[in-house]
Structure 1
Amino acid sequence: MREKLGLLVCVWFVLWGSCVGRFVVEKNSLRVTSPESLKDVYECAIGNFGVPQYGGTMVGTVVYPKANQKACKSFEDVEISFKSKPGGLPTFLLADRGDCFFTLKAWNAQNAGAAAILVADDKIEPLITMDTPEEENAHADYLQNITIPSALISKSFGDSIKNALSKGDMVNINLDWRESLPHPDERVEYEFWTNSNDECGAKCESQIEFVKNFKGAAQIFERKGYTQFTPHYITWYCPDAFILSKQCKSQCINHGRYCAPDPEQDFSRGYDGKDVVVQNLRQACFFKVANESGKPWLWWDYVTDFAIRCPMKDKKYTKECADQVILSLGVDVKKIDQCIGDPEADVDNPVLKAEQDAQIGKGSRGDVTILPTLVINNRQYRGKLDKGAVLKAICAGFQETTEPTICLSDEVETNECLENNGGCWQDKAANITACKVLLCLLPVACYAFSACLLLGFNGSLLWCSSDLIILL
C-alpha cells in the first residue's frame, strides 16, 4: 500500500518547524549501441511500478510514435501496435512526460505490445522516481497488472533520440539492471517497511496479498540462512506544542513520541492512529522475540494470520485477537507485552525509537517515506509488489553462482525468448549458465556448449559466454 507518507512526514515537521528528507532515486544503466552518434552509457531512473529485470538486461529498438506521443490514450484508438514481428527486436516505446500518470503511460504501452517504456522528462532537472498515483487515484485495476519495465530519461537524452529517429536512424538500446542491486556475498540482507493498518483499500489488500504469497519463499530463505530479513514500521513524533491536541492524543502513544495517521482519516469513528502504532509495535516485538528464539521466519505467519483473523472491518483489530494468534504460534505473549511496555508512559520505547532512527537514510539508501518499501542490500527496490518480481530482485542480490535453489524456480527463471523476445534464463542445476544478458533475434532455444560468441545482424559482438550457445 504505497501510502503517501512523505506528505504526512512533512505535515508533522512543518508543525515542528522544518521538513527535511533525503529520497534516493534508484537508477540503472542504459547503453545505446546504435547509431554511432549516440553510442554511450546513460543513466535512467527505475519506475516505482512494473517489473524491472533485476540481475538481467533487455535489448530493444526505440520507437517514438507520430500520434499519442504522451501515451495518455490507448494506442488502439490511433491504430498503432508495438508488437515485434518474428525475428525483430523488442520495441521500447519512447513517450513524453506530462498530461497523465506515469503508470497509465506504461499500461498503454504494454497493451500495445511494447517490451519497455522510456519516458522523456519535459524539463531539465535531475532524474526523479516515477511513482504510482496519489491515494485518490490509486484504485485503478491496471496498477497491479503492469509487467513491463519503465525508466525515466533526461530531456536532453530524449531529444537526442528523437533527433536521431527523425533522420531515419535506428536507435538500439540495452537496458541493464545487473548493477542496480549490490551482490557482494552469499547472503542477501533485506528489509520490509510495512504497516498493520488494513483500511486503505486496494493498496492494503495488495500488501496483505503479497505477504501471504511471499511467505513461503521468505521462510525458506530464512530457515536456510540465505537471507537476513528485518521488518520495519514507520512512526512520527508530535511536536511539543501540539502534544495536548486532540489530533496528537488520538494518533500518538508515549506522550506524542510515536504517531500514525488515523486509518479512516476520520477522528470521529473507527480506530485511531494510536491503535495502529500499538499493533505495529506488537508486530515489531513479535519479530524481536521470535528472532531471539531463533525463529525469525514466524513473523510471516503472524502477520498473515493477524490480517485474516483480526481485521479492522470486523472490529477485531485488538490485543485480545492478536494474543490468540501469538499463542497459536507458540510464542511467549508475556515477552511481547514486556517489549511493548506502557503506551501511556512518558518514556521512550526502545523498539520504536530504533525504528525512527532507521527511517533516516544512510549511505546509498535514502529516507523511507512511503509504504510499503523494500530495501535489498541497502538499496530501495523499485517495482511492483509482487512475489515473482520481488523474488527475482532478491535473487539478483546474491553473489553470482551462489544463488540458492529457490532462485532457479520457474517463477524466477522467466524465458524471455518467449516474452517480448528479450532474453532467457536457463537452469544452472542442469549445468547451464543463466543467460541474463542475452539478445534474442528469434524465438530460440539455449543449449550447453563449450564456448560461443553471439554475433548480431550487423556483425557486432553482442554476448559471450564460456558455456552457452544460441542457435538461431
Structure 2
Amino acid sequence: MARFKILALMFAMVASSALGAFLIEENSITVTSPDSLKGTYQSSIGNFGVPQYGGTLAGTVVYLKDKPKGCDRFEDRTFKADSGGRPVFALVDRGDCYFTTKVYNAQQGGAAAVLVADSRTESLITMDSPEENPSTAKEVENINIPSALITKDFGDKLKSALEHKELVNMKLDWRESLPHPDERVEYEFWTNSNDECGPKCDAQIEFVRSFKGVAQILERGQYTLFTPHYITWYCPKAFVESKQCKSQCINNGRYCAPDPEQDFNIGYDGKQVVTENLRQLCVFKVATQLTTPRPWVWWDYVTDFQIRCPMKEKKYGPECAEQVITSLSLNPSDIRECMGDLTVDEDNPILKAEQEAQVGKGDRGDVTILPTLVINQRQYRGKLEKAAVTKAICSGYKETTDPPVCLSQAVETNECLSNNGGCWHKGNITACKDTFRGRVCECPLVEGVQFEGDGYTDCQAKGLGRCNFDNNGCWKETQGGVIFSACQDSYTGCTCPEGFTGDGFVDGSGCTDIDECSEKTRCQCPECQCTNKWGGYDCQCSGGLLYIHEHDTCISKMTTPSSKVGWTVSVIVLVGMVVLAVGGYVIYKYRLRSYMDSEIRAIMAQYMPLDSQNEVHTHMQEDA
C-alpha cells in the first residue's frame, strides 16, 4: 500500500509538469522497387537501438507469415543476407509483446534493421523501451540495429507486394533526421544525480564516463555548445505538508525528485537528489563564468562524483561533493552561493528555469523521461552509447565544417579515399571533401589560391599564385637555363610568350618556337644578318652599322660633317642665349638698385635736413 502511495504521488508530480507536446522524431524510407511502391515514406525512430544518424542503409524487406509479430525467437540465420546480397530488413506487426522484444528477436535472427507495422490507423508514435522491466533490460542493452515504426497503410502495401512475390528494396535514410544548419552543434543532456534507479541509471553513468573525452574535445574546440539539465517536479499543493513531499522536495514543495529506493524509511531522500542536481547545475554555471571559462569541467565533476560519492557507499552528499569541487580548482563557496537557501518558501531561479526548459518549444518536444539527449533542438532516439551519440552529434554539422573527431575512422567512412569520391583531382590536389553525411565535390583552396569549377570534372586555379600549381596546365620549358611559360598570374588561361606559337596548353599543342629568320618577320633590312634562337632571334648589321631592335633597322655608328655643323650652330646659339640672359640680368639688378637708392633718399629727407638743404638756407639769409 505504501509503495502504491509513493507511485501515485510520483505520477501526480510528473503529470503536473508534463502538459506540453511530445514530438515524434522521424526518418524517411525510400522504396526503390517494385514500381507500384516507389516513393518516399515517413517512419518514427525507435527510442532504443542504434539509428544511423547522418547515414543511410539499403536493404531488402522480408516478412514471415508464420511469425508475423516477432514475439518468438527466430532461427539464427532467418534474416541473414547471403554472401554479396543486400542486408535484410525484418517486417513485423505491432502487438502481443514489447517493441524491444520484437527488435531483439529479429536482430538475433540476422536482421540489419526492423520495421514494425502499426496495427491501427493512427499517426506515428515513438516506440519506447519498457520502464524498469528486468526481463527486457538485457534486450534493450544489447540491441545494436536501427528500428522504425511505419503506418498500417504502408505496412499493408509492403505485405501485399511480398505476398505477390515481388522484390521489395528500400533505403532507410537518417541524413535529415537532425538539423545541420551551421558549424556548431548545440546539445542538451537531461540527466539525474541519482545512481540507484536501476539499469537506466547504470547505463547513464557508463555513458557519462565513456563520452566525457569526446564531449570535452568538442567543447574545448568550440565545436559544440553543451548545456546540462535536470528534470524536477513539484508537489501538488494539497500534499505539500505530507511526509512524502517533505522528504522528496525542497523550497516548500516547489522542486522534487522521487525517493531513490522508493522507501521513505531507508537510504537517501528525494530532496537530497534535488539538492545534488542543483549543485551540479551550479558547477556548470560557475565554471562558465570564470575569467577563463571551463564549461567542460562539468563532465569531470559528474564522473568524479559518481566514482567518489556513490549512494551504495553512503558517501552521497555535500561533504564529499565539496571535496570533488575543490579538487577541480573550483571554490565551494561560489557553488553554495549559486545554490541559495533551499529551506525558504520561494522560487529558486536555477531550478525554476529547469522546470520551464522541460516544456517543449519549436521543434523540440517535452522532456519527460531520463536520460534524454537533445541535439539541435531534436530529441535523440536510440541507445545512450558513446559511438552512437557521437555519430548523432556529428550529423548536426553543416557539410565541410565537421570537426576532426567526426571524420575519424572510428566514426565514419572516408569516401574520398576511393577514387577521390568521383570528384576532380590532379596530383595530390582534389575537390573531394569528406563530411559525416558523405563526400561533397567542391574546388579547394590551396596555399591561398582558390580553385574554381564544378568540382566534378574541372577545377582551375585563379588569381595570384595560380601558376605554382602544375603551371595551371600550361606549357613550360627550360633550355640553357632560360625558362619560358605560357602561364601568367595576371590573366586566365594559357598564352604562349613572345617568340612562340600554339595554344599554350600541355594537353594541347603547347608552344613551338617561331623561326623569325625563315618566316622573314624580323631582321629583314638589307644590311641585316639574322640568326634564329630559341624563343627569339639575333640580328647583326654589316658595314659597322648598329641594329635598333625596336625599329628593326640598322644605323651608322659614326657621326657625319653635316651633323658636326649642326652641333656647332646649336652650341653657338646656346652660348649666345646664355650671354644675353646674363647681360639682361645685370642691367636689371643695376636699375633695381638705383631705384631703391632714390626711394630711400626721398624718405630720409622728410625726417632730417640734408647737407645741400642747409647750404641753400644760409645763402638766402646772406642775400637778405
- Same structural fold, with TM-score higher than 0.5 when normalized by the shorter chain: yes
Q: Which residue is 1:136 aligned to? A: 133
Q: Given the alignment of the two structures, is residue 107 of structure 1 paired with residue 108 of structure 2, yes or no?
A: no
Q: Which residue is 2:150 aligned to? A: 153
Q: Which residue is 2:473 aligned to? A: none
Measured against aligned partners, the alpha-carbon deviations of 1:267-291 in whole angstroms (never above 9, x if no partner) come to: 1111011010000000000000011
Point out where structure 1 has 5 or more consecutive residues left out of the alignment: 1-5, 417-423, 439-445, 451-464, 468-472
Q: Given the alignment of the two structures, is residue 227 of structure 1 paired with residue 228 of structure 2, yes or no?
A: no
Q: Given the alignment of the two structures, is residue 92 of structure 1 paired with residue 92 of structure 2, yes or no?
A: no
Q: Secondary structure at the match of 1:30?
A: strand
In the superposition, relative to structure 1, how do residues 176 and 13 fare at CA in structure 2: closer, same or farther (>3 Å)?
Answer: closer
Q: Secondary structure at the match of 1:244?
A: coil
For 1:175 and 1:7, how far apart are their aligned partners in 2? Answer: 41
Q: Report matched runs for 1:256-335 at 5 Å.
A: 256-293=253-290, 294-335=293-334
Q: Report matched runs for 1:144-293 at 5 Å.
A: 144-293=141-290
Q: State the Cα distance separating 1:430 from its structure 2 match.
A: 10
Q: Which residue is 1:470 aligned to? A: none
Q: Given the alignment of the two structures, is residue 397 of structure 1 paired with residue 396 of structure 2, yes or no?
A: yes
Contact 1:57–1:436 at 8 Å: present in 2 too?
A: no
Q: Secondary structure at the match of 1:60?
A: strand
In the superposition, relative to structure 1, how do residues 389 and 263 fare at CA in structure 2: closer, same or farther (>3 Å)?
Answer: same
Measured against aligned partners, the alpha-carbon deviations of 1:134-163 in whole angstroms (never above 9, x if no partner) come to: 213466323222111100000111011000
Contact 2:100–2:136 at 8 Å: present in 1 too?
A: no
Q: Secondary structure at the match of 2:294?
A: coil
In the superposition, relative to structure 1, how do residues 351 and 140 fare at CA in structure 2: closer, same or farther (>3 Å)?
Answer: same
Contact 2:414–2:434 at 8 Å: present in 1 too?
A: no
CA RMSD in angstroms, aligned pairs only: 2.5
For 2:184 and 2:52, how far apart are their aligned partners in 1? Answer: 20
In the superposition, relative to structure 1, how do residues 152 and 307 fare at CA in structure 2: closer, same or farther (>3 Å)?
Answer: same
Q: Secondary structure at the match of 1:248?
A: helix
Q: Which residue is 1:11 aligned to? A: 12
Q: State the Cα distance separating 1:7 from its structure 2 match.
A: 9.1
Q: State the Cα distance separating 1:411 from its structure 2 match.
A: 2.4
Measured against aligned partners, the alpha-carbon deviations of 1:44-100 in whole angstroms (never above 9, x if no partner) come to: 000001111111111111000132221112112xx7521111221111110111111
Point out where structure 2 has 5 or more consecutive residues left out of the alignment: 1-6, 416-420, 422-427, 444-454, 458-624
For 1:361 and 1:140, how far apart are their aligned partners in 2? Answer: 28
Q: Which residue is 2:69 aligned to? A: 70
Q: State the Cα distance separating 1:9 from its structure 2 match.
A: 6.8
Contact 1:58–1:437 at 8 Å: present in 2 too?
A: no
Identify the structure with bigger relative contact order (alpha carbons < 8 Å, sequence gap 6+): 1
Q: Given the alignment of the two structures, is residue 354 of structure 1 paired with residue 358 of structure 2, yes or no?
A: no
For 1:434 and 1:68, how far apart are their aligned partners in 2? Answer: 43
Q: Secondary structure at the match of 1:275?
A: helix
Measured against aligned partners, the alpha-carbon deviations of 1:430-461 in whole angstroms (never above 9, x if no partner) come to: 965548789xxxxxxx9x9x9xxxxxxxxxxx
Contact 2:186–2:375 at 8 Å: present in 1 too?
A: yes
Q: Secondary structure at the match of 1:127?
A: coil
In the superposition, relative to structure 1, how do residues 247 and 430 fare at CA in structure 2: closer, same or farther (>3 Å)?
Answer: farther
For 1:322 and 1:177, how far apart are their aligned partners in 2? Answer: 41
Contact 2:407–2:434 at 8 Å: present in 1 too?
A: no
Measured against aligned partners, the alpha-carbon deviations of 1:201-235 in whole angstroms (never above 9, x if no partner) come to: 22111111100000000000000100000000000
For 2:72 and 2:236, how far apart are their aligned partners in 1? Answer: 45
For 1:286 and 1:260, how far apart are their aligned partners in 2? Answer: 20
Q: Secondary structure at the match of 2:370?
A: coil
In the superposition, relative to structure 1, how do residues 297 and 379 fare at CA in structure 2: closer, same or farther (>3 Å)?
Answer: same
Q: Which has the larger radius of gyration?
A: 2
Q: Secondary structure at the match of 1:131?
A: coil
Contact 2:103–2:147 at 8 Å: present in 1 too?
A: yes
Contact 1:10–1:19 at 8 Å: present in 2 too?
A: no
For 1:140 and 1:278, how far apart are their aligned partners in 2? Answer: 29
Q: Secondary structure at the match of 2:29?
A: strand
Contact 1:238–1:248 at 8 Å: present in 2 too?
A: yes
Aligned pair count reads: 425
Contact 1:9–1:369 at 8 Å: present in 2 too?
A: no
Q: Report matched runs for 1:43-58 at 5 Å.
A: 43-58=42-57
Between stretches 219-228 and 62-71, larger displacement belongs to 62-71
In the superposition, relative to structure 1, how do residues 135 and 19 fare at CA in structure 2: closer, same or farther (>3 Å)?
Answer: same
Q: State the Cα distance separating 1:338 from its structure 2 match.
A: 0.5
In the superposition, relative to structure 1, how do residues 274 and 138 fare at CA in structure 2: closer, same or farther (>3 Å)?
Answer: farther
Q: Which residue is 2:479 aligned to? A: none
For 1:399 and 1:7, how far apart are their aligned partners in 2? Answer: 46
In the superposition, relative to structure 1, how do residues 264 and 352 fare at CA in structure 2: closer, same or farther (>3 Å)?
Answer: same
Q: Which residue is 1:457 aligned to? A: none
In the superposition, relative to structure 1, how do residues 55 and 224 fare at CA in structure 2: closer, same or farther (>3 Å)?
Answer: same
Contact 2:132–2:199 at 8 Å: present in 1 too?
A: no
- One-letter amino acid of the counterpart of residue 58, structure 1: L
Q: Report matched runs for 1:442-461 at 5 Å.
A: none
TM-score calculated relative to the size of structure 1: 0.85
Between stretches 99-108 and 293-302, larger displacement belongs to 99-108
- One-letter amino acid of the counterpart of residue 55, structure 2: G
Between stretches 81-90 and 288-297, larger displacement belongs to 81-90
Q: State the Cα distance separating 1:412 from its structure 2 match.
A: 0.8
Measured against aligned partners, the alpha-carbon deviations of 1:274-325 in whole angstroms (never above 9, x if no partner) come to: 0100000000000000111210000000000000000011110110000000
Percent of aligned positions that are identical? 64
Q: Secondary structure at the match of 2:303?
A: helix
TM-score calculated relative to the size of structure 2: 0.65
Contact 2:399–2:437 at 8 Å: present in 1 too?
A: no
For 1:28 and 1:412, how far apart are their aligned partners in 2? Answer: 20
- One-letter amino acid of the counterpart of residue 12, structure 2: V
Q: State the Cα distance separating 1:12 from its structure 2 match.
A: 2.1
Measured against aligned partners, the alpha-carbon deviations of 1:11-34 in whole angstroms (never above 9, x if no partner) come to: 2266x6x96231111001111111
Q: Secondary structure at the match of 1:140?
A: helix
Q: State the Cα distance separating 1:36 from its structure 2 match.
A: 1.1
Q: Secondary structure at the match of 2:133?
A: helix
Contact 1:84–1:90 at 8 Å: present in 2 too?
A: yes
In the superposition, relative to structure 1, how do residues 185 and 13 fare at CA in structure 2: closer, same or farther (>3 Å)?
Answer: closer
